[in-house]
């Protein structure tokens, strides 16, 4: 099989840094899928991505499609020929659609009947003829939120395109992609090597771009280079650079020829909270900060320059000059904000609308304060501290620092509360009540923080539902799904003994009567419980396991979790499948009956040995299970119930439930009802999927 390397390069204006990595991977995936669909074999696809290009190198790509056997099935023979054996219009029409005559058609006979069939060999097309369409379709499928047009061209892309290279081995594939004619000229670094670079062969692309163009085309290799340079430069300060993956990816997307440069700033700025300095360095300037062995910020930063010159001191000086006024602003905000207590902003909160129908931020903080106090009293937190933390938790939104750096809300509130000598738990809770901010984020570490964080989210959930703005489809402007998931995580992972439905009811009573929040408590409860489905899906819990527990509607999420973990473990028990099937059978029997089933068994009506044995087993299980259920030890409950399997199996083998004798029938139904209720103390295991 003849193969060649294929090079595809789309040269553009600077691409969005936060999208580059995803665009590159998506481009590779779509081209790979299209080649496989076309039946074109290849060895591997290597993606390249820099600020000014998306490129792919397809190694050892088949030069043409293999010939294919084509088979088209026509009408059944009985419909293809009449009684005299002459072809019907259906047969003639089929032959014409295949471009042949009736005599060239073959017969296909199977055990399901016989049909006319057309068979032929279709020659494969040259790969070079297919590539332009494959590339264009892959570009059209890229995850681009907003496409643009440029100049007088009709093509649309994320940024204006300036050159296109389509090279198959040494052969130029002539095509027009995004209104640009393909060629063999690429371009290197915008400043270090602006002249065009001729690419004679696809497999020479990466080496030529680096040696002549001063461009490291591989995203991953550029990323590794940047990390190594940062670590090496940080070592000279006797500190350690903090390298977040997100910032590293973003910086990698902004440079083609990376050079790490060490900068410094005045020691006096270290008196400003480090979060403000780090935010300025990373979010605004894309700098990497440096810490000592105690994780204290050092007066240095590392920037990644996109140029290399004999005197890099000018680059360093320029960056130091840029950062200085930003730090000066942060220092000013810090000093000004501390001139008045954090609590002084409470009055200002009255003028800031949280939501038109739900009042101001002051109103919200007062509701959260009352709810946090109730939660604190249940989880053994200080009630007064929870109230105070909730009262102050939104005040830092009114400070100069948070006004300039919104991402510091909570963190600055903690600093200002500490400056005002508020209790330590109050200050910490002001910061922690925003946690978890996103999936996988840490939870509040203090009981006070948990109380305020839960109260804040439940107040929002109840209020927004009450005014009729619950999430619909993919629209969730108030982040209610995220809020619900945060509540779920805190209740379960912090093992809090809090009844979710009761909490929601409490949250509703603190809203004004005009919005009738009490009418939506069930809807809010159902919404939060539905989000637990997502929570457990991410832990690979089977949907039927979740449904079996959901059927019992536990309102204590720690109890919900304990039941679910027990059922999930129960699946490994050899008795699980048989008992789940038995529960399905019992459920169906009980659903169909219209009789009143007695609560108590009449032991005198237990005639068969198998039903007597089952009744005794149920009685013994009830005695053994009661203390386990009270302690929520559901693993133990199901282990005991699994021992009932042979007794249950024997009952269904030997005993007829729906007998004509009404008293006997109702007594056996009562026996089955008691058996089912034993399992319902944990979950409705009839919901479990079995092979039966």
Q: Which domains does the chain have, with CATH numbers?
A: 3-65+126-211 (3.30.70.260), 69-122 (no CATH), 219-337 (no CATH), 344-540 (1.10.3210), 563-687 (1.10.730.10)
- Over its C-alpha atoms, the chain yields an Rg (Å, rounded) of 35
**Cα–Cα distance for residue pair 407/417, rounded to 1 Å:** 18
CA distances in angstroms from 40 to 5, 28, 165, 180, 534, listed in the order given: 13, 15, 20, 26, 39
Treating both helix axes as pointing N-terminal to C-terminal, what angle do 500-509 and 361-378 enclose, rounded to 10 degrees?
140
CA distances in angstroms from 66 to 2, 135, 221, 238, 390, listed in the order given: 11, 20, 36, 61, 70
* Kind plus residue range of the DSSP H or E element containing 288: strand 288-291
- State residue 574's pLDDT score: 87
- State residue 603's pLDDT score: 84
- State residue 537's pLDDT score: 93
- State residue 439's pLDDT score: 86
**Cα–Cα distance for residue pair 287/469, rounded to 1 Å:** 40
Q: 394-432 b/e with 16+ CB inside 10 Å = b? A: bbbbbbbbbebbeebbbbbbbbbbbebebbebbbbbbbb
Instruction: Give CA torsion, residues 407, 410, 412, 413, to 10 deg.
Output: 150
Number of neighbours of residue 81 by Cβ within 10 angstroms: 16
- State residue 308's pLDDT score: 87
pTM above 0.85, yes or no: no
Flag residues of the chain having pLDDT under 70: 1, 691-692
Residue 182 in contact with residue 196, Cβ under 8 Å? no
- State residue 81's pLDDT score: 85
Sign of the Cα torsion 646, 652, 653, 659 reads positive
Query: Which of the 8 DSSP states describes residue 539?
Result: T
**Cα–Cα distance for residue pair 643/578, rounded to 1 Å:** 11
- State residue 479's pLDDT score: 93
**Cα–Cα distance for residue pair 675/647, rounded to 1 Å:** 11
**Cα–Cα distance for residue pair 501/526, rounded to 1 Å:** 9
- State residue 691's pLDDT score: 63
């Amino acid at each position: 099989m003849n193969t060649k390397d294929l090079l595809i390069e789309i040269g553009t204006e600077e691409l969005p840094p936060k999208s580059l990595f995803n665009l590159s991977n998506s481009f590779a995936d779509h081209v790979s899928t299209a080649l496989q669909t076309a039946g074109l074999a290849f060895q591997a696809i290597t993606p390249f991505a820099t600020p000014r290009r998306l490129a792919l190198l397809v190694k050892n790509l088949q030069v043409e499609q293999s010939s294919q056997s084509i088979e088209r099935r026509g009408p059944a023979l009985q419909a293809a020929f009449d009684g005299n054996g002459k072809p019907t219009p259906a047969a003639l029409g089929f032959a014409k659609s295949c471009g042949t005559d009736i005599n060239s058609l073959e017969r296909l006979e199977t055990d399901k009947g016989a049909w006319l069939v057309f068979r032929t060999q279709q020659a494969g097309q040259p790969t070079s003829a297919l590539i332009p369409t494959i590339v264009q379709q892959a570009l059209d499928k890229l995850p681009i939120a907003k496409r643009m047009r440029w100049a007088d061209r009709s093509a649309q892309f994320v940024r204006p395109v300036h050159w296109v290279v389509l090279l198959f081995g040494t052969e130029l594939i002539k095509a027009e992609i995004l209104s640009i004619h393909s060629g063999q000229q690429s371009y290197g670094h915008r400043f270090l090597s602006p002249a065009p670079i001729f690419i004679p062969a696809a497999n020479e692309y990466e080496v030529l771009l680096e040696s002549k163009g001063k461009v490291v085309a591989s995203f991953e290799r550029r990323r590794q280079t940047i990390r190594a340079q940062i670590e090496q430069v940080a070592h000279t300060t006797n500190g350690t650079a903090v390298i977040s993956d997100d910032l590293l990816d973003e910086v990698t997307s902004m440079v083609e020829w990376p050079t790490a440069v060490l900068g410094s700033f005045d020691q006096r700025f270290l008196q400003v909270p480090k979060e403000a300095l780090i935010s300025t360095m990373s979010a605004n300037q894309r700098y990497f900060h440096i810490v000592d062995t105690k994780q204290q910020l050092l007066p240095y930063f590392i920037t990644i320059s996109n140029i290399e010159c004999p005197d890099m001191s000018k680059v360093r000086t320029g960056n130091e000059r840029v950062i200085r006024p930003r730090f000066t602003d942060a220092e000013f905000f810090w000093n000004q904000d501390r001139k008045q207590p954090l609590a002084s902003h409470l009055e200002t909160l009255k003028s800031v609308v949280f939501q038109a129908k739900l009042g101001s931020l002051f109103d919200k903080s007062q509701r959260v304060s009352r709810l946090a106090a109730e939660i604190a009293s249940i989880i053994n937190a200080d009630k007064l501290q929870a109230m105070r933390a909730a009262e102050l938790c939104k005040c830092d939104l009114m400070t100069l620092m948070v006004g300039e750096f919104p991402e510091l809300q909570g963190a600055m509130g903690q600093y200002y509360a500490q400056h005002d000598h508020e209790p330590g738990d109050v200050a910490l809770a002001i910061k922690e009540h925003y946690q978890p901010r996103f999936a996988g984020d840490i939870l509040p570490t203090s009981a006070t923080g948990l109380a305020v964080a839960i109260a804040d989210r439940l107040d929002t959930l109840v209020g927004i539902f009450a005014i009729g703005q619950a999430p619909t489809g993919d629209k969730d402007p108030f982040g209610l799904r995220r809020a619900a998931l945060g509540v779920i995580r805190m209740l379960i992972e912090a093992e809090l003994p809090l009844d979710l439905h009761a909490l929601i009811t409490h949250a509703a009573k603190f809203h004004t009567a005009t919005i009738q929040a009490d009418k939506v408590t069930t809807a809010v409860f159902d919404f939060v419980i539905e989000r637990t489905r997502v929570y457990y899906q991410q832990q690979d819990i089977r949907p039927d396991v979740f449904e079996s527990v959901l059927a019992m509607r536990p309102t204590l999420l720690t109890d919900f979790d304990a039941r679910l973990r027990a059922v999930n473990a129960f699946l490994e028990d050899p008795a699980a499948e048989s008992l789940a099937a038995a529960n399905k059978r019992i459920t169906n029997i009980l659903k169909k009956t219209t009789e009143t089933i007695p609560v108590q068994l009449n032991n005198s009506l237990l005639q068969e040995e198998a039903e007597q044995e089952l009744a005794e087993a149920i009685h013994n299980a009830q005695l053994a299970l009661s203390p386990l259920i009270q302690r929520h030890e559901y693993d133990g409950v199901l282990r005991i119930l699994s021992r009932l399997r042979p007794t249950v199996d024997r009952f269904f083998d030997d005993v007829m439930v729906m007998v004509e004798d009404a008293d006997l029938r109702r007594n056996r139904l009562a026996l089955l009802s008691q058996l089912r209720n034993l399992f319902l103390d944990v979950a409705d295991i009839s919901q479990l999927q079995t092979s039966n």
